[in-house]
Structure 1
Amino acid sequence: MKPFMNILWLLFGGVFVACEYLVSSLLMMITIIGIPFGIQTLKMGMLALWPFGKEVHTSPDSGGCLSIVMNILWLFLGGIWISLSHLAWGVLLCITIIGIPFGMQHFKLAGLALTPFGKEIVDI
């Protein structure tokens, strides 16, 4: 069932979300300062490409206070807007019964978009 849902996800907009994350990741990696943020955006793009069957967990070696500082910077530099857009899409998709699984994936992406540093994506 997971591969079928992932294919539907790709057909109904997942490809566009993943491409947006990929382009923004490449643009962030142009500068040395933007590389850590580009890596986190790339992580979100990989999850946006194939979200069903994956979960986001806090990494045991999350980096301590550096991870907290980077998450705060991320939050103020655009993470809140990315998270709010995923929340809006999640609410819109959850209006219909058919859209609930896709809305739940947007909620998962919203949580990761809010604080991506110190998180890892694992297969379930």
Structure 2
Amino acid sequence: MNAVLNIIWLVFGGIWLALGYFLAGLVCCLLIVTIPFGIASFRIAGYALWPFGRTVVDRGGRMPVMSALGNVIWLLVAGIWIAAGHVLTAIAQALTVIGIPLAIANLKMIPVSLTPLGKEIVPVERAYGVYGRQYGPRLAR
């Protein structure tokens, strides 16, 4: 079922969304200081291309203060605008019955588009197996 939903997602907006994240990543990588944002944008582009069957988890770890600072900068510069775009696209997708799962996937991408640093995108099975029951009920949906 995930493959069918991913193909429908790809046709009805996923390719354009992923392309936008990819281009933003290229721009961020050209500006040397913003390379971490570019890498995060490439990660989100892959998620935007094929979102069903994957989820976002906290990476935890190495530099939480730097990730938090970077996320604040990202939120102010790009995160709010990207999240607003996801909300508007989800509203448009939810107007049709076949678009409701796509709208839900679009809304699911908002947290990672707001604060991408310190997050990891993993298959749902791995998230449940590695991170345990704390992600179980949320992933079962």
The TM-score normalised by the length of structure 1 is: 0.94
CA contact (8 A) 1:62 1:117 kept: no
Give the drift of 1:62.
Answer: 5.9
Q: CA RMSD in A?
A: 1.2
1:60 counterpart SS class: coil
User: Structure 1 counterpart of 2:24, which letter?
Assistant: S
- The residue identity in structure 1 corresponding to 2:47 is L
Compare CA radii of gyration and give the structure with the larger one: 2
Q: Which residue of 2 aligns with 1:38?
A: 38
Equivalent residue for 2:137? none
Counterpart Cα distance in 2 of 1:70 and 1:17:
22
User: Any gaps of 5 or more consecutive residues in structure 1?
Assistant: none
Structure with greater proportional helix content: 2
State the identity as a percent: 38
1:57, 1:121 within 8 Å by CA — same for their partners in 2?
Answer: yes
CA deviations on 1:87-124 (whole Å, 9 max, x unpaired) are 11112222333211100111111111111111110101
The amino acid across from 1:116 in the alignment is P
Unmatched runs of 5 consecutive residues or more in structure 2? 125-141
8 Å CA contact 1:62–1:119 kept in 2: the answer is no
Deviation at residue 61 of structure 1 after TM alignment: 1.4
Aligned residue-pair number: 124
Deviation beyond 6 Å, 4+ runs, structure 1:
none
What is aligned with 1:113? 113
TM-score (normalizing by structure 2):
0.83
